[in-house]
Amino acid sequence: MNALIDTLIYALELYWWVIIAAAIFSWLYAFNVVNSRNQVVNNIGGMLYRLTEPVFRPIRRLLPDLGGVDITPIIVLLIIFFLERFLDSTVRSLFY
């Protein structure tokens, strides 16, 4: 059971970095730092969008309109932080 909990925590940590990469990429794209016509840039952006949008979409529906400010990544990062701590402390202590 310990290996399963560790694997879930590592998967959440990996997704944490995907969310941070998507947020940084969206800023670079919005401020025209990266060339939006470049195929590699479009592929990276599309991949990050496909990885994060299924998680972001339900949360965006619940949040009020904040006038162009998207706090969805912060909320998802907080949820991941909570899940990691919950798995590490509560679930792990149930089995040991």
pLDDT of residue 57: 96
Model confidence band, residue 92 (pLDDT cutoffs 50, 70, 90): confident
Sign of CA dihedral 19, 24, 27, 32: negative
How far is it, in rounded angstroms, from Cα 96 to Cα 26?
42
Model confidence band, residue 1 (pLDDT cutoffs 50, 70, 90): confident
Domain boundaries, the chain: 2-95
pLDDT digits (tens, 9 = 90+) for 23-76: 999 999 999 999 989 999 999 999 999 999 999 999 999 998 888 889 999 999
pLDDT of residue 39: 96
